[in-house]
Structure 1
Amino acid sequence: MENRPIIKIKRDKMDVIIETVTILALLITFLYPAFYYSYLPKNIPAHFNFSGEVDRYDHKSWVWLLPIISLVLNTALYFLNKKPHLFNYVNKITAENAEENYRSSIKIMRFTGLVISILFLIITYQTVTLGLSGAGKTPVWSEYLIYYLLFILTFGTLGYAIYKSRKN
């Protein structure tokens, strides 16, 4: 790795908004199952197939797995954002272009954390709701929401990253 400048990137208004929404999504991902935990049956949906049907049940304590994974991933992204000079870049990083490249990559990482938080929130919501209702299939709207959200946000973020790297 070349000798890249190490600079601190200040957060702008959009960064604060993304981080705030991410933290709120994380909080809700923990609070929703906490509120309903005592009402959940012993076994809850733990895995869904591509049709949205439950294909595995586990003990209700597994409801905490998704919020914990979301928290761990977002914490890792938070600390990675403090070292953008370690990221991979398409172009050579110089003192002149470092700030713009670092800022773009940090925004992409923040947005990725937001996407992770929202997706894990939706899946946790589905798990708890299906556990409470005893239904064996997710509602069609949530099934499509997850697929389209995942597709659009993943490829949208990737497209934005490619666009920004070529622009820089």
Structure 2
Amino acid sequence: MHERKRRPAVRPPLSPLEIGIEIVALASVALSIYLTVQAWATLPARIPGHFGLAGQPDAYSNRSDLLFYPIFSVIAYIFITLLSCFTRFFNYPWAITEENAARQYRLARGLINWLKLLLIWMLLYGEWLTIEVATQQATGPGALVFIGLLLCMLLSTAVYIVAARRAR
């Protein structure tokens, strides 16, 4: 912890890409809230609460459980956005110096915010799918979307590690 306190207190400005990610993430949270409000009156009392590997609902829950999607999206957005302000205190696999601090902090902040966006998209897709199945407009989840988002998370992390290693 002592090393972290001695790290340079650099605050690199947001890049245009980071600003774009923030706008899309915030719009996705707003869309989650909108979907819940729009679908509420048409939802049955019981909605799918879990999907099995075959893509069919195998557990049901109360309609009020749909509120967890927008609530968790808002909480995740706020928490991860605040977390991304403290890149100086993150764990890094190499030394942070005056020369590389701005680059390392920017890369770490970019990764965190990109993962935030992917998490919000996963929640948004889960919410949309739950609404579609509950209102009988779809039969089950396209697992490929979830797998694709998870692979994007892994790929993003790998790209970050390579870029951060080069920026040492």
Give the TM-score normalised by the residue count of structure 1: 0.92
Counterpart in the other structure of 2:112: 109
Aligned-residue identity in percent: 24
Distance 1:134 1:19, change over 3 A: closer
Q: Secondary structure at the match of 1:21?
A: helix
Q: Name the SS for the 1:107 alignment partner.
A: helix
- Are 1:16 and 2:19 counterparts? yes
Contact kept in structure 2, 1:126 and 1:138, CA below 8 Å: yes
1:136-157, Cα deviation, whole Å (9 max, x unpaired): x415xx3212212222x12111
What is the one-letter code of the residue matched to 1:73?
A: A
2:3 is aligned with 1:4: no
Measured in 2, the distance between the counterparts of 1:154 and 1:50 equals 21
For 1:114 and 1:134, locate their aligned partners in 2 and report how far apart those are by CA, in whole Å: 26
Inter-partner Cα distance in structure 1 for 2:53 and 2:103:
40
Question: Following the alignment from structure 2 to structure 1, what is the Cα–Cα distance between the partners of residues 137 and 14?
Answer: 44
Counterpart residue identity of residue 92, structure 1: A
Contact map agreement 2:47 2:60 (CA 8 A) in 1: yes
Match of 1:43 in 2: 46
Aligned residues: 164
CA deviation after TM superposition for structure 1 residue 12, in Å: 1.2
Q: Whole-Å Cα distance in 1 between the matches of residues 25 and 137 of structure 2?
A: 30
Q: Distance in 2 between matches of 1:19 and 1:51?
A: 35
* Structure 1 consecutive aligned stretches of length 4 or more whose deviation exceeds 3 Å: none
SS of the residue corresponding to residue 85 of structure 2 reads coil
